[in-house]
Structure 1
Amino acid sequence: MKNPVERIREKLIGADSQKAILVYSERNRRYFTEFPSDAGALLITAEEAYLLQDFRYEEAAGYSAKNCTVTGFKNFMEKLLELMEKHGVKQVYMEINKLSVAEARKFEKAFGEKGIETVLDETLDNAIKDQRMIKSPEEVKKIEAAQAITDAAFQHILPFIKEGVTERDLALEIEFFMRKNGAENVAFDLIVAAGKNGSQCHAVPSLNTVQKGDFITMDTGAMLDGYHSDMTRTVAFGKVSDEQRKVYETVLQAQLAVIDAVKPGVPCCDMDKIARDIIEKDYPGTFGHGLGHGVGFEIHEWPVFSHRDTTLCAEGMVITDEPGIYLPAQYGVRIEDMLLVTADGCRSLTKSPKELIEL
């Protein structure tokens, strides 16, 4: 598979030397060049791609940025216009979803004075979105590496779950383990919710303590080389009641049914319906969020398993499968894997066990 810069160039400008792409957002710059910085831009022409970086990042970018030529500048706009004039650019596509109105006006004015048309519609945003939905084999390996840290963290944390330990202490221990074992960061603010707090699907770890008979829901993920992982497991401290076990088994049934159904060509909304129908039968109104979302260079990407998304599953997509049941002021259960859509079905990138663990 061609590198990300080659793919977006081929899709939008081909060999047309009068067209160019300007990637201005921090996240998409890193996606195309694998270099993190909080300033600069990536200019892609038919002949060359330039990563414009100021003095703070120029040297580091020269060592590690990929798929581009690193170019320093003292005046950003002057250097950008110089490169565009060098290549005879007359039209440039920009990301409107990542630009403020003020920034868009600034670029449009500067380019217009040089006779360059600024394309401020969704052409570039949609092209990047479509490209990032389908992961390359190299991207899948990076997501799997991040998930391996997450799986290891799950095994690590189980002995720490004891009566009286706080949600916050558990979350901190998971984060410390991930960072110590190679993660550059956590993928998002980790969720650890025990007992009654488990009914809040995005609960913030607090000083609430684990008690006998509690479910503990842990939604965790690591970031490695810019790529994210996302996994949720719910475990029990002590023996659970028959009703708690039934809730857990219902969520697991829904989660596994989706794994059995995912394959290229099926609409994302159908996957949501499969899980929702199972849960609604005995627990109506307790599954209030969408089934899942794309994961990759960002923790929430495209497509989504939701009743609103009719996108067809395609080989190379990585999407979470995370049904849940939330009983207010009682407890909650969520089970989440990342699924890679394959040629004839899907493969879970998540290796942690899903049978109910009673500690």
Structure 2
Amino acid sequence: MGDHPGRYPEGEFRRRVAALQARMAAADIAALLLTTAADVFYVTGFLTRFWESPARPWFVVVPAAGDPVAVIPSIGAELMAGTWLSDIRCWDAPHPEDDGVSLLADTLNDMVPPSGRIGLPMGLETHLRMPLADYLRISDRLAPREMADATDILHRVREIKSEAEIELIRATCRIADAAFARVPEFAGPGVPLDAVFRDFQCALLGEGADWVSYVAGGAGPGGYGDVISPATARPLARGDVLMLDTGAVKDGYFCDFDRNYAVGPPSDAVRRVHDALYAATDVALAALRPGMTAADLHRLMTATLKSAGVEAGGGRLGHGLGIALTEWPSLTPLDDTELRENMVLTLEPGAVVSPGRILVHEENIVLRADGPELLSARAPAELPVLG
């Protein structure tokens, strides 16, 4: 199979598989079982919205050596055949009595000796996308082979992005940059928040997003209460702060950053917190280097906010980004993951304006040897005003 149209050359996928296989060898893993949309896409280029249907499981097996094997429902055979994989094994699904169980078990039994170990992501930010009952049946059929946790194998490989991946994330960020620039066209005093959300999604699609997997935000007087609630029909009013946050997708890769807008002139308290968030981001952009940990970066931004007399918001202040909206690591005081060159991250400091009111500021970066490189266009230093 040659280049995968519109995305990467075949060599990109071979590089990824080779990196996984090197870590598999070090962990004594004879085969790696992948079941989720992100992991399957990562090693194959198989990209479809059909994952939204829970009716069928999908499997890709990465052997200790050689090319991956797809074990998938027959409805996906043609699309998978357009990827670089050549070994594609299918069953007619959904099958109430044997939904790929026998085919997957036979594939793994052929690949892995009885004393071998089969890796499966089992830790944080992973899930098993198949019925638990079927997993137990497969495990019985694979005995005495051992199922082992392969979370670290996937995380350490996927968190370092190739230049091809970085350019795809940059392209998605540019789409969102263009959509954010259009917000004053459809948002202002008197416009219902749910209409703003819909128009923002239309703007993202109009600027070239393949789909808009995530739109969130909020609006309220002097800030917003949270950043995950669905939009209501409440009209924007002068004194509000509007925030829009997006995880738009292009060629399988996400952006994830937000922008804040004052509806009418902002209050002094809003200005002060906005300036502190901007300064905390500037400090991170200036000081972040490979070798720091996620916890180090969290402390750096928190300390900057504290020095400005602002209380940092709870939770993490950023995360990894790529073929999922949020990836590891998490910028929290508890995450000691080493930040390495070519990780793509979000910087997402948040702070309290007043009881029940917050502001959050987010940018997307790639960590280079000499520090961060912005992938999203830097937000304006002065809070934009609508109306």
Alignment TM-score, normalising by the size of structure 1: 0.89
Map Cα deviations across residues 241-268 of structure 1 (whole Å, 9 max, x no partner).
Answer: 3333222111111111111111101122
Aligned to 2:145: 117
The answer to whether the 8 Å contact 2:365/2:375 transfers is: yes
Identity %: 22
Does 1:43 find its partner at 2:70?
A: no
Map Cα deviations across residues 276-323 of structure 1 (whole Å, 9 max, x no partner).
Answer: 122224545452232111111111111121111111210011111111
Does 1:358 find its partner at 2:385?
A: yes
Aligned to 1:66: 84
CA distance, structure 2, for counterparts of residue 83 and residue 107 of structure 1: 11
Matched letter for residue 6 of structure 1: A
Task: Give 5+ residue unaligned stretches, structure 1.
Answer: none
Which residue, out of 31, 34, 47, partners 2:42?
A: 31
Does 1:4 find its partner at 2:16?
A: yes
Matched letter for residue 62 of structure 1: A
Task: Give 5+ residue unaligned stretches, structure 2.
Answer: 1-11, 52-56, 93-97
Which residue, out of 261, 271, 291, partners 2:287?
A: 261
CA distance, structure 1, for counterparts of residue 35 and residue 385 of structure 2: 49
Structure 1 residues 280 and 201: CA distance shift in structure 2, 3 A: farther
Query: RMSD value over aligned CA atoms?
Result: 2.5
Tell me the CA shift for residue 59 of structure 1.
Answer: 1.5
CA distance, structure 2, for counterparts of residue 133 and residue 85 of structure 1: 30
Q: 5 Å matches for 1:74-85?
A: 74=92, 76-85=100-109
CA distance, structure 1, for counterparts of residue 233 and residue 292 of structure 2: 43
Aligned to 1:247: 273
Aligned to 2:242: 216
The answer to whether the 8 Å contact 2:197/2:215 transfers is: no
Tell me the CA shift for residue 117 of structure 1.
Answer: 0.4
Aligned to 1:155: 181
Tell me the CA shift for residue 204 of structure 1.
Answer: 2.9
Aligned to 1:52: 71
Aligned to 1:274: 300
Q: 5 Å matches for 1:333-344?
A: 333-344=359-370
Matched letter for residue 48 of structure 1: D
Aligned to 1:140: 166
The answer to whether the 8 Å contact 1:324/1:334 transfers is: yes
CA distance, structure 1, for counterparts of residue 103 and residue 356 of structure 2: 60
Matched letter for residue 80 of structure 1: L
The aligned length equals: 351
CA distance, structure 2, for counterparts of residue 193 and residue 222 of structure 1: 20
SS at match of 2:182: helix
Matched letter for residue 52 of structure 1: V
CA distance, structure 2, for counterparts of residue 203 and residue 125 of structure 1: 30
Tell me the CA shift for residue 68 of structure 1.
Answer: 5.3
CA distance, structure 2, for counterparts of residue 286 and residue 262 of structure 1: 19
Alignment TM-score, normalising by the size of structure 2: 0.83
CA distance, structure 2, for counterparts of residue 86 and residue 138 of structure 1: 34
CA distance, structure 2, for counterparts of residue 208 and residue 53 of structure 1: 46
Tell me the CA shift for residue 129 of structure 1.
Answer: 1.1
Structure 1 residues 298 and 88: CA distance shift in structure 2, 3 A: closer
The answer to whether the 8 Å contact 2:302/2:312 transfers is: no
CA distance, structure 2, for counterparts of residue 73 and residue 350 of structure 1: 43
CA distance, structure 2, for counterparts of residue 68 and residue 7 of structure 1: 20
Structure 1 residues 3 and 109: CA distance shift in structure 2, 3 A: same
CA distance, structure 2, for counterparts of residue 265 and residue 67 of structure 1: 36
Map Cα deviations across residues 28-73 of structure 1 (whole Å, 9 max, x no partner).
Answer: 112221214542211222233111122211112112x335532223
